[in-house]
């Protein structure tokens, strides 16, 4: 069966420090991968998505970047964190759109607090 991992689960970082959040998927190949941010009590904002290794699409101009160095690895990064980067970050994957089980599967999330 497929599983998705995110780490760390929680993170407290000072303003101006770098960030690296990692997401890995097991049990599937060539998934679509996604990073979302969820502010407190709000919906999900799509930040980046990737349809293959090295292929990253950005949805919102921001202080963050994403990379996909391996088929099932998706990394969210920042060189210098801002207070506004605080939030709950969710990684998700989906199968190829023509498969019947098309949906998004979410990881457990990372709670980031920038102080």
Bridge partners, 20 (sequence order):
77
If you ran DSSP here, which 8-state letter would residue 107 be given?
A: -
Identify the three-state secondary structure at position 40. coil
Name the one range near other proteins by CB under 8 A: 15-23, 68-76, 78-86, 92-100.
92-100
Q: Smallest gap, in angstroms, from Cβ of residue 27 to other proteins?
A: 17
Nearer to other proteins by C-beta: 32 or 86? 32
Work out which of 14, 43, 54, 61 binds other proteins, going by CB under 8 A.
43
Q: Smallest gap, in angstroms, from Cβ of residue 45 to other proteins?
A: 8
Name the one range near other proteins by CB under 8 A: 15-23, 60-68, 69-77, 93-101.
93-101
Cα separation, 14 vs 4, whole angstroms = 28
Cα separation, 37 vs 28, whole angstroms = 24
Work out which of 12, 77, 103, 113 binds other proteins, going by CB under 8 A.
103
Cα separation, 55 vs 80, whole angstroms = 23
* Residues 114 and 104 sit within 8 Å (Cβ to Cβ): no
User: Which residue is listed with tokens 């023509």?
Assistant: 98
Binding site for other proteins (CB under 8 A): 32, 34, 36, 42-44, 46, 49, 51, 57, 59, 88, 90, 92, 94, 96-98, 102-106, 108-109
């Amino acid at each position: 069966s497929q599983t998705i991992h995110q780490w760390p689960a929680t993170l407290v970082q000072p303003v101006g420090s770098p960030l690296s959040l990692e997401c890995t998927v097991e049990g599937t190949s060539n998934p679509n991968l996604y990073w979302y941010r969820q502010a407190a009590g709000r919906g999900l904002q799509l930040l980046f998505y990737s349809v293959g290794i090295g292929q990253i699409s950005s949805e919102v101009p921001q202080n963050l970047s994403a990379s996909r160095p391996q088929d099932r690895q998706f990394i969210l990064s920042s060189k210098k964190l801002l207070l506004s980067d605080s939030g709950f970050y969710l990684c998700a994957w989906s199968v190829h759109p023509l498969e019947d089980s098309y949906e998004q599967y979410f990881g457990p999330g990372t709670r980031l607090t920038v102080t």
